[in-house]
């Protein structure tokens, strides 16, 4: 069996030794749509498993840390934050070519486009977007010391380090000079908050990084893709979520290929309403939200540039990468406008 990113004979042997209740695997398939870490369904006689591994080819330092994802879902599994069941972790790159972990399959839907949400009423769409805000607030309410994540990050100076980190990622990935990017970084440095709250943060929170149940009532069954999680400023999570959010009539946002369009379906909260619902359930002060939305656009621009660089090198697996480079200047321009430039 030949599947990119999987050494099938070695994987079969490893699962037999480490997940004996599953039985001998019978097949593996790549789940389409992943733009970063690769996700596969592994079929076994005993259960359906999901495997996560880093992307092929060029991988940025500190990114795609499988142990980090594994640790956070293991810590959150007993809490009110919905995550997949952690099953087994492998740190030996000799097995399939990179560290990976296995988690239980969640029988939920990945919702990215309006077509994915076909059949939902406006009331159901509204409730689903409210649940997205409520689960984000639940993540930020977790006592990270109590669940064993007290050393999961360094909250002090988080936003300054984030700005530096993503700047370094840009320098490693950039495919062309972009003067507007330099202006944006300077403005973000000027506006860095002096102090901020400290919570567990997901790092890439959006509807299509969750698995959703449609009926009898819409709900979020699991939050996935925890590769960027750490301890830091919860408003950075909210700002990035709003960066991904597409309101009806926002054609510029619609042109960004990494942004889903499900939130334009009738009934979904607008970006402003989503932020207000999050503030209501979390008690957060959103007076400096513009900075975090601008930072979200900046971060997404750097991520898009990294994906674009891998695409140019022929190191991506899946579809939909052709236009991602065009998103970078658009996201930078949006961030500048949010900051009043």
What's the 3-state SS for the chain?
CCECCECHHHHHHHHHHHCHHHCCCCEEEECCCCCCCEEEEEECCCCEEEEEECCCCCCCCCCCCHHHHHHHHHHHCCCCCCCCCEEEEECCCCCCCCCEEEEECCCCECCCCCHHHCCCCHHHHHHHHHHHHHHHHHHHHCCCCCCCCCCCCCCCCHHHHHHHHHHHHHHHHCCCCCHHHHHHHHHHHHHCCCCCCCEEECCCCCHHHEEEECCCCCEEEEECCCCCCEEECHHHHHHHHHHHCCCCCCHHHHCCCCCCCHHHCCCCCCHHHHHHHHHHHHCCCCCCHHHHHHHHHHHHHHHHHHHHHHHHCCCCCCCCCCCHHHHHHHHHHHHHHHCCC
Q: What does the mean pLDDT of the chain come to?
A: 90
Q: What is the pTM of this model?
A: 0.90
- The answer on pLDDT for 174 being more than 90 is no
- Cα angle 315, 321, 325 (rounded to 5 degrees) comes to 100
What integer is the mean pLDDT of 136-160?
95
pLDDT at position 330, please? Answer: 94
Higher pLDDT, 129 or 216: 129
What integer is the mean pLDDT of 146-163?
93
Task: Give the C-alpha separation, 63 to 220, whole Å.
Answer: 26
pLDDT at position 54, please? Answer: 87
pLDDT digits (tens, 9 = 90+) for 47-95: 999 999 988 764 444 456 889 999 999 999 999 999 999 999 999 999 9
Q: What percent of the chain has pLDDT over 90?
A: 73
- The answer on pLDDT for 325 being more than 70 is yes
pLDDT at position 62, please? Answer: 47
What integer is the mean pLDDT of 116-129?
92
What integer is the mean pLDDT of 258-276?
94
What integer is the mean pLDDT of 215-240?
94
Report the chain's C-alpha Rg in angstroms: 20
- The answer on pLDDT for 35 being more than 60 is no
Select, from the ranges 4-8, 65-69, 78-82, 321-325, the one with the highest average predicted confidence (pLDDT). 78-82
pLDDT at position 58, please? Answer: 46
- The answer on pLDDT for 142 being more than 60 is yes
Q: What percent of the chain has pLDDT over 70?
A: 93
pLDDT at position 323, please? Answer: 72
């Amino acid at each position: 069996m030949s599947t990119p990113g999987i050494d099938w004979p070695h994987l079969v042997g490893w699962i037999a030794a480490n997940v004996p209740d599953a039985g001998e695997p019978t097949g593996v398939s790549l789940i389409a749509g992943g733009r970063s870490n690769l996700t596969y369904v592994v079929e076994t006689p005993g259960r359906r498993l999901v495997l996560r591994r880093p992307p092929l080819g060029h991988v940025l330092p500190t990114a795609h840390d499988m142990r980090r994802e594994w640790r956070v879902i293991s810590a959150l599994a007993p809490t009110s934050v919905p995550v997949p069941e952690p099953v087994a972790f492998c740190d030996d790159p000799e097995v399939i070519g990179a560290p990976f972990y296995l988690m239980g399959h969640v029988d939920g839907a990945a919702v990215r486009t309006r077509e994915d949400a076909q059949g939902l009423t406006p009331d159901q769409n509204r409730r689903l977007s409210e649940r997205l805000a409520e689960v984000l607030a639940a993540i930020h309410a977790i006592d990270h010391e109590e669940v064993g994540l007290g050393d999961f990050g360094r909250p002090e100076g988080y936003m300054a380090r984030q700005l530096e980190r993503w700047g370094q990622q840009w320098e490693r990935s950039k495919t062309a000079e972009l003067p507007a990017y330099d202006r944006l970084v300077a403005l973000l440095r000027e506006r860095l908050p002096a102090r901020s709250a400290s919570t567990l943060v997901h790092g890439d929170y959006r509807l299509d990084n969750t698995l959703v149940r449609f009926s009898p009532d819409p709900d979020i069954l699991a939050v996935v893709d925890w590769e960027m999680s750490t301890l830091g400023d919860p408003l950075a999570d909210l700002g990035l979520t709003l960066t991904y959010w597409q309101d009806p009539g926002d054609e510029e946002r619609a042109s960004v290929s990494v942004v889903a369009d499900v939130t334009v379906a009738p009934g979904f909260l607008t970006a402003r309403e989503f932020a207000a619902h999050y503030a209501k359930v979390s008690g957060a002060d959103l007076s400096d939200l513009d900075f975090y939305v601008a930072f979200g656009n900046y971060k997404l621009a750097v991520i898009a540039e990294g994906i674009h660089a891998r695409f140019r090198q022929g190191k991506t697996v899946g579809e939909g990468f052709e236009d991602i480079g065009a998103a970078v200047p658009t996201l930078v321009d949006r961030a500048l406008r949010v900051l009043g430039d």
